[in-house]
Amino acid sequence: MREYLLTLCVAAAVTYLLTGPVRKFAIAAGAMPEIRARDVHREPTPRLGGIAMFGGLCAGLLVASRLDNLSDVFKLSNEPRALLSGAGLIWLLGVLDDKWGVDALIKLGGQMIAAGVMVMQGLTILWLPVPGIGAVSLSPMQSTLLTVALVVITINAVNFVDGLDGLASGMVCIAAIAFFMYAYRMWFGYGMENAAPATLFSAVLIGMCLGFLPHNIHPARIFMGDSGSMLIGLVMAASAISVTGQVDPAIITNSTGSVRDAVHAMVPVYIPLLLPLTLIAIPMADLVLAIVRRTWNGQSPFAADRGHLHHRLLEIGHSHSRAVLIMYFWSALIAFGTVAFSARSSSLWILLVVVALSAVGLVVLLLPRFRPRVPAWAESFVPPRYRHSARRAARAAAREEGAGSGTEVDPRLEAEAEAAVQAALKENPAAVAGLHGATAIGDRSRLPDRRQVSGAR
């Protein structure tokens, strides 16, 4: 475990330290695209953050190859080299796309080539453990097609979810932590040495995401771009493929005594193939809804709009940071719930906890739609968005009445109302602008000019 932690820390440190110089390089290279209509940021932000993440990947693998125990992974398996080869190709493609833009079909072809390179070097799914049947061997063609499909789907899922500051890196980090937990359990719990590469890949991926996240949280100073999103998607897919297709079911069969018991014991091995799909579930649902919505409105399915999931979270009243945290919560619930179920599939407590947390998540998700009346004595203990509804409307009406009658406006009331507006805008700009714009912002234009007030005095 100490060697894994060291590898994780090295990958995180190198990624973190490289991100600053990479940001300056991206600005100098002009990798700062114009703001599009569907973007949520308001200032041009440099891309190419994937350069720093690729540096963290290389540093983590290099350190791991020099450690006493982890060096055996490089001696007994060709998977680290296969990962590095595929990652190098997909990273180069992403850098070109971040700087000059690459056609979607060309990117798809590059993703398939990177996946094919890993398959040629042995990183592929050899068999699938099917509950009730046993281990089903795959033909070379089936193995290649399934491996390439999993890599391409995972890469595009991560790329699609990269819509808010810190969203993709945080969600992948959560999935990688869950991946590391059961891969480590398969190695040391069942003595499967073939699970060591997947454990190593997950540790390095956690370090890459943690090192980049401080630079990418809202407001982001740099974006990972396609060079980063496709890279971490490929590393996560490689972890799933390694632990799913390389672990020998005969090892568990010998320890459990029967094939049926071995199949049930191999649920932790079978589920890794599903974990990338749990990350894809929400983005894919959003993609399907976007295609239906655009087609229904007579638009092209590839036309950009502001109807994606993160846009909807902002529109219903969530702040940028809260929308990201909500998606973190659901990602963690699905990932860790899957891992817990794989370890204790017969436990009823796991199901009850997941259901309870899902209910909490739904309440938080719908919270902006509920605006309770907070007593005056409790206003200092709640966020500004719950304080101002009735009181701000009364102040705005009083200011409007004072402006119409020509009487003097109390400067203290005006300053207090202005401070409340600014605090609420800082807390939740979308909700305040949409729900209270008429009372908080629009009425401000009808206030008497400060110079007129001082002249009347």
The annotated binding site for Mg(2+) is made up of 159, 226
Q: What is the DSSP track for 285-322?
A: HHHHHHHHHHHHTT--TT---S-SHHHHHHHTT--HHH
Chain centroid to Cα 158, Å, comes to 7
152, 112 in Cβ contact below 8 A?
yes
Distance CA 364, CA 343 (A): 29
224, 97 in Cβ contact below 8 A?
no
221, 102 in Cβ contact below 8 A?
no
Distance CA 223, CA 166 (A): 9
Residues 60-70 as b/e (b if ≥16 CB within 10 A, e otherwise) read bbebbeebeeb
Count of beta carbons in the 10 Å neighbourhood of residue 343: 16
Taken in order 15, 16, 18, 24, is the CA torsion positive or negative? positive
Question: Tokens representing 311?
Answer: 């846009």
Instruction: Check residue 96 and report its DSSP letter.
Output: H
Residues in binding site: 159, 226
Compute the chain's Rg from CA coordinates. Answer: 26
Q: What is the DSSP track for 194-255?
A: GGHHHHHHHHHHHHHHHHHHHHHSSSPS---HHHHHHHHHHHHHHHHHHHHHSS-HHHHHHH
276, 150 in Cβ contact below 8 A?
yes
131, 103 in Cβ contact below 8 A?
no
Question: Tokens representing 202?
Answer: 């997950």
Question: Tokens representing 356?
Answer: 């309870």
Q: What is the DSSP track for 397-440?
A: HHHHHHHHHTPPPPHHHHHHHHHHHHHHHHH-HHHHHHHSIIII
Question: Tokens representing 286?
Answer: 């959003």
Q: Is 134 left (phi over 0), alpha (psi -120 to 50) or beta?
A: left
215, 75 in Cβ contact below 8 A?
no
Count of beta carbons in the 10 Å neighbourhood of residue 48: 26
